Amino acid sequence: AGPCDIYSSGGTPCVAAHSTTRALFSAYTGPLYQVKRGSDGATTAISPLSSGVANAAAQDAFCAGTTCLITIIYDQSGRGNHLTQAPPGGFSGPESNGYDNLASAIGAPVTLNGQKAYGVFVSPGTGYRNNAASGTAKGDAAEGMYAVLDGTHYNGACCFDYGNAETNSRDTGNGHMEAIYFGDSTVWGTGSGKGPWIMADLENGLFSGSSPGNNAGDPSISYRFVTAAIKGQPNQWAIRGGNAASGSLSTFYSGARPQVSGYNPMSKEGAIILGIGGDNSNGAQGTFYEGVMTSGYPSDATENSVQANIVAARYAVAPLTSGPALTVGSSISLRATTACCTTRYIAHSGSTVNTQVVSSSSATALKQQASWTVRAGLANNACFSFESRDTSGSYIRHSNFGLVLNANDGSKLFAEDATFCTQAGINGQGSSIRSWSYPTRYFRHYNNTLYIASNGGVHVFDATAAFNDDVSFVVSGGFA
Ligand code: AHR
Ligand code: AHR
């Protein structure tokens, strides 16, 4: 059985079921998600294998030698409640038409029972939505929902959500949403410790319990894979959570609606959001693997069976890197492969990261400027950070999508901005170096300056022309 078979047996059927990793009904054989590739704009649907796990190999074959984005996350419930690129609302997204960004298809690799699959890695600016969903709860009607998330990928911005929201992408008032939130925002509610917390986004508030402020019963989460569940019915709602890779769910809150005007009764509108707030606030980050919404208030017993099903799916981490191996502690230099520039290496001039012509006969200072010590990734040791050879403690990081050399300030944002994952060079040479936090974006030289660039986008340095060459670098032993 799948999670939605269990919800059906419990009398609270799925009215939306989204996953890029597996079928959520045992009998589901339709498409899980659609990817679009950068080379020619073609799309393909990724479906489950007979095991129920997504056919990641089909994605890898389709996306070979180019980039891919997740364009549609299909609804498996049969209601057509698919998630697509979120439109502008109270806030506009970063795309030129005000839409949000789409997720990279390769930002969140995992295995399920040993088989590779990909989650949805939501960077700030990324969001999916369906403003015309059918069968989802409206008004004060009962519903439940769960999502499996990456407990190590979050931030404090508004709002990494999955669930029920406004149909016009605007803040229409208290009680107009009922969604799972995951992150360490302290603007509204908080739980115990420093976060991240599972909270309910009920509009104009993230709630961790009955008080609109702190509720000590809602714990900080530190599991790599998290099951987060929210459910609500007239004057009753609950937060439940646990480790998606083992054990059972705990109830972090169950009780009355918040004693603040507008939340009892609720005014749910029934749209579905992923990765954003109800008004298209899009500064948050997180990773989504699977989730559903139900009709009716699921029993704890039903949710406990769903949790057992999730644990049995055996989510586990998969490598974030591929292609030529890098050795932590070694010194490397990175040579451009675009025809213009094959004698140029990634170097720095002060805090500017650029390409410069370097050879074995260059001055020592230039050789050092073009040499980098490979470090374990500051935010994720499955990837890498690049420390300057001549300015110890300074690392290549992105800032406003440019690459700069900055001293490590010890912050979580710095660590994330300075973490990069290597993969085989997209043009077939060397390696391409992907931002961990914005996996649609790669080290790119553009007019001899370095950026993190996407294959098409709003910046001049996102140009599709020469993209594959500009993002492919040959790694060698360092000049210094
Ligand atoms: O409730 C928190 C956020 O407040 C909602 O997601 C958003 O619509 C509003 O800005
Ligand atoms: O480079 C994109 C973002 O810009 C970085 O994450 C942040 O440091 C800056 O605001």
Contact 177, 278 (CB under 8 A): yes
Our answer to whether residue 203 is catalytic in this structure is yes
**CB-based pocket (< 6 A), ligand 1:** 158-159, 171, 201, 203-206, 277-279, 281
Q: Which atom of ligand 1 is nearest to the CA of 280?
A: 8
- Distance, CA 350 to ligand 2 centroid (Å)? 19
pLDDT tens column, 297-354: 999 999 999 999 999 999 999 999 999 999 999 999 999 999 999 999 999 999 999 9
Instruction: Please tell me the predicted confidence (pLDDT) of residue 163.
Output: 99
Sign of CA pseudo-dihedral 190, 194, 199, 205:
positive
Tell me the average pLDDT across 4-12. Answer: 98
- Distance, CA 144 to ligand 1 centroid (Å)? 19
DSSP sequence for 91-147: S--SSTTSPPBPEESSSEEEEETTEEEEEEEE-TTB-EEETT-SSS--BT--EEEEE
Instruction: Please report which confidence band the pLDDT of residue 202 belongs to, taking 50, 70 and 90 as the band edges.
Output: very high
Taking the CA atoms of residue 284, residue 286, residue 288 and residue 293 in that order, the dihedral angle to the nearest 10 degrees is -40
Average pLDDT of the chain to the nearest whole number? 98
Instruction: Please tell me the predicted confidence (pLDDT) of residue 126.
Output: 99
Please confirm whether the linkage preceding 439 is cis (ω < 30° from 0): no
Our answer to whether residue 178 is catalytic in this structure is no
Contact 454, 462 (CB under 8 A): yes
Ligand nearest to the CA of 441: 2
Contact 20, 55 (CB under 8 A): no
Question: Which residue type sits at 326?
Answer: L
Q: Spot the catalytic one: 143, 150, 184, 203.
A: 203
Q: Residue 94: left (phi > 0), alpha (psi -120 to 50), or beta?
A: alpha
Please confirm whether the linkage preceding 159 is cis (ω < 30° from 0): yes
pLDDT tens column, 124-141: 999 999 999 999 999 999
Atom 6 (ligand 1) nearest CA: 277
**CB-based pocket (< 6 A), ligand 2:** 398-401, 413, 417
Atom 9 (ligand 1) nearest CA: 204
Instruction: Please tell me the predicted confidence (pLDDT) of residue 346.
Output: 99
Q: What pTM was estimated for this model as a whole?
A: 0.98
